[in-house]
Structure 1
Amino acid sequence: MPEYYIILKKILLGAEFIAALVGFIYFFKLKNNYWKWFSIYLIFIFIQEYFWFIRSSSFFVKKEDYYAFLGIPLQYIFLYWLYAFKSLKKRKLFYVLSFIYLFTYIPFQIFLKKINVVYSINLTTGTILLLFLIVLEFIEQIKNDDILKFKENKMFYINIGVLFSYIGTYPFFAFYDYLLKDEYANIWNIYFLYFLITTSIMYLLFTASFIWGKHKS
């Protein structure tokens, strides 16, 4: 792996740390506001990423197993909650999307027992549902003219970050094993670079949402 990839990985971890630190600082200002959970989410993400940055396995679980069945699902469910339940005020939509997403684990875990299959199906479903929520959020912002006050709109920063990172990197992770073949090495390298850069930007946008965004209850 090129040295600049290692540097970018550390930059990404640094961006996650900054987001977690700012989230922690704002937590005490938001303790009576649902945005406190966003602070907790960012702190959890940093701890999770730092742990697996220095380790490839633990006594109880392998890194890939952890992300497939806990790390990634928690991120998607939290974002569904933030978008559907809180921002869009559509509780039933949150429950429906969460059920659909979690249901994708059941048949493949029971009958196939393959992490790569579970991860691929789950990732595709989760990303499509998240894209749906991103579109709804943009429509809501335009409808309410919130887009004109984007500097004060906390969800605007989050929406842009999630769009470029989660949605933009979907093909990379969906076809990860396929792209590892020698003939697609250049595509893999470009997409991995894109992942590192856009994910770092996403966490900086999350940080900006605390600093410039209004924390509506």
Structure 2
Amino acid sequence: MSDVYAYLEKPSMVDYPKRFAAVFFISGCNFTCGFCHNAALMGKKQAGLSWEKLEAACTKFKKDWVNGVVITGGEPTTSSELPELIRFFKRFGFAVKLDTNGSNPERLAECLPLVDYLAMDVKIGFSGYPDLVGYSNTANIQQSIDLIRAKAKDYEFRTTVIETVHSDEQMDEVRQLVEGSKRYALQAFIPRDDLPEERYRTVPRTTSARLHELRDRMAGCAGEILLRGT
């Protein structure tokens, strides 16, 4: 059995820049984000799909003109077989994008030579990590940022902005972390009724005005600054 828990039946045009991509999910995560949109994949790892089923899915996606794969979660770097999984997808000719929270720089270092695009969430400034995501080893986060900037073929850092959480002061901390990067994305938070923590279910969606305000505040921190969900 593989560590892939599930995949989207229909390819995506938004999860991998400039690619028509199949999206595969790995369960299990070492963060406890109360605003996670994939709450079913949090916590312990769950039973995965067989390699035969993955092969059948990839064969179908290939026939449907899919040219990319996104490996997301959960947190994919919790999987010891992640490098093997990337090689599996590459055998079908797919470009591979990996999503990560940056908590496992050792596994990330194994995967970077194999991955075509890397997207890392910078959740908040380091002072906010313990409260927001339940993770305090920010040295690992910094190591992953440094690795990605130095060795990733193509990449982005990104922050999902919650207006009640991401103050100007916190975003100034984030700016210091992503300074000098190739690409940085500011994403709108969208509330849902099934978020892990009730307090986030009623927080208003991030306004376009706040995203534009932060784009101006973060100007110059990266070669390209993107807004998503405006």
Per the TM superposition, whether the score is higher than 0.5 is: no
Q: Structure 2 length normalisation: TM-score?
A: 0.24
The answer to which structure has the higher strand fraction is 2
The answer to which structure has the higher helix fraction is 1
Q: Structure 1 length normalisation: TM-score?
A: 0.25
RCO higher in structure (CA 8 A, sep ≥6): 1
